[in-house]
């Protein structure tokens, strides 16, 4: 188990699914392309349960790079073409490179 003070693991993107089909996917830590891939997998799992709308809450993201945010935008567009709406809540600004 990690704690907030564990700086070596603070760079690891984390996701938490809260009651699929009812609650948002909460993302915390650093959002990179790799982290966005983890989020994508979780979103796809929730979508497969029959959800037509998936919410990703980015409130806990402290740092996000452009590649991570772009990956989520691409996922949103892809899901839209398949009839699923992806809502990104509290989207952070990309961190300067």
Q: The sheet that has 25-31: what strands, in order across it? A: 14-17, 25-31, 53-64, 85-89
Residue 72 has pLDDT above 70, yes or no: yes
The model's pLDDT over 21-69, given as tens digits with 9 standing for 90+, comes to 557 899 999 999 999 999 999 999 989 888 899 999 999 999 999 999 9
pLDDT given for residue 3 in this prediction: 39
For residue 66, give the nearest of 86, 93, 41, 87 by alpha carbon.
93
Identify the architecture of domain 14-89 in CATH.
2-Layer Sandwich (3.30)
Question: Residue ranges of the domains in the chain?
Answer: 14-89
């Amino acid at each position: 188990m990690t704690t907030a003070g564990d700086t070596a693991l603070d760079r690891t993107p984390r996701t938490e699914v809260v009651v699929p089909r009812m609650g948002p996917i909460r993302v915390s830590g650093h959002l990179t392309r790799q982290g966005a891939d983890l989020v994508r997998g979780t979103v796809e799992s929730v979508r497969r349960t029959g959800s037509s709308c998936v919410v990703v809450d980015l409130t806990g993201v402290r740092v996000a790079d452009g590649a991570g945010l772009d990956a989520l935008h691409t996922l949103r567009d892809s899901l839209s073409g398949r009839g699923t709406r992806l809502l990104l809540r509290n989207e952070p600004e990309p961190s300067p490179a």
